[in-house]
Amino acid sequence: MRVGSFYPRHRLTPLAAAVALVVCSAAAPAGAANKEHQQMMAEIRMLQEQNAQLQQSIGTLVDALKTVNTKLDEQAATSRKTSADSRLLIEGVSGELRVVREKIDDTHVRLGSLAQEVDALRNSIPQGAAPAVAVDPNAPPASTSSAPGPTGAPTPGGSTLPPVAAAGPPANPAAGMSPGRLWDMAFSDYAAGQWPLAIQGFETYIRAFPKSEQADDAQFYIGEAYQLDGKMREALAAYERVASDYPQSNRAADSYYKRGVIYNTLNQPDKAREMFETTIKQFPTSESSRLAKQLLDARPRR
């Protein structure tokens, strides 16, 4: 074989070498771009997965927030119901306490009435009553066939009767009666226009219950009964006792005013003015003071 025949088969020409160089140069950037694209796609997929996980986390957080809000609403509703129940309970207890206080006040009033009735019964027991005489069970029964003889005279059996004791004073008219009962009886006579009976009833009430809350009223109604019965002098004395015996009574102002009216009726203007001015000065806020002022203003000026 000749040497000249080998080179044309295996030796590259300058043109072929250039083409080969271009082809190799073009193939290298294409491979690098493909690798960068694949890396970018991988990163995009990774971001998509992270976004999906984030969306899932957000959904879980939203559900958790909804659950928390629901529990908060339930707790708020429970708190409102508890507060309302507590308020109702407090109002109920307050109402029961008010009822208990009213019952206690009523009990105090009843106890006061019972105390007055006990005092009335105690006062009605006669003082120094004669003790009961013991009877001998072996003594023969007294004979009922003959009438007893006079004092100290012998009986048909020969015995002498003891002297008959003199009759004692009349029984207390208020014996065994409660203050309310005695007051009702006296006031019934007053309302019926039975002035003497009403005066007697009110006087009995004052003697039996001098410390009663209505003792001043009883004295005032005695003056009223005397005035309505036309006994002005007795009425003046009765009204004066209201002011002297019960100076702190709510009837004191009325008693001064009534005395002024009676003095005015008896044509004693100076004494009437004195009573009216006393009423206005000592009891300026009372109704009697207002009436007294009206009568003073209506009187002619001197």
Write out pLDDT tens, residues 167-183.
Answer: 444 455 656 678 889 99
> What integer is the mean pLDDT of 128-142?
48
What's the token pair of residue 155? 């009986």
Q: Confidence band (pLDDT; 50, 70, 90) for 83?
A: confident
Q: List the chain domain ranges.
A: 7-103, 179-298
Sequence-ordered alpha helix ranges (H) in the chain: 3-10, 14-124, 179-191, 195-208, 215-228, 232-245, 252-265, 269-282, 287-298
**Res 88: pLDDT:** 81
CA distances 236 to 39, 90, 91, 128, 233, Å, are: 129, 57, 55, 38, 5
What is the pLDDT of the chain when averaged over all its residues? Answer: 78
User: Closest Cα to residue 190, out of 158, 218, 160, 225?
Assistant: 225
**Res 233: pLDDT:** 95
Q: CA 173 to CA 155: how far, in whole Å?
A: 38
DSSP 194: -
What's the token pair of residue 215? 């003792």
Q: CA 79 to CA 60: how far, in whole Å?
A: 28
**What's the pTM value of the predicted model, to 2 decimals?**
0.48
Q: Is the pLDDT of residue 189 over 90?
A: yes
Angle between helices 179-191 and 195-208 (to 10 degrees): 160
Q: Confidence band (pLDDT; 50, 70, 90) for 240?
A: very high
Q: Is the pLDDT of residue 22 over 80?
A: no
- Please tell me whether residue 160 adopts helix, strand or coil conformation: strand
Q: CA 265 to CA 235: how far, in whole Å?
A: 12
Considering only 126-130, 234-238, 254-258, which range has the smallest mean pLDDT?
126-130
Per-residue burial over 126-155, b = 16 or more CB atoms within 10 Å of its CB, e = otherwise: eeeeeeeeeeeeeeeeeeeeeeeeeeeeee
Q: Confidence band (pLDDT; 50, 70, 90) for 32?
A: confident
CA atoms within 13 A on the CB side of 208: 31
CA distances 113 to 70, 104, 184, 201, 246, Å, are: 64, 14, 14, 19, 21
Torsion from C-alpha of 29, 35, 39, 44, nearest 10 degrees: 80
- Please tell me whether residue 238 adopts helix, strand or coil conformation: helix
Q: Is the pLDDT of residue 141 over 90?
A: no
Report whether CATH 1.25.40.10 matches the domain 179-298: yes
What's the token pair of residue 182? 């005695």
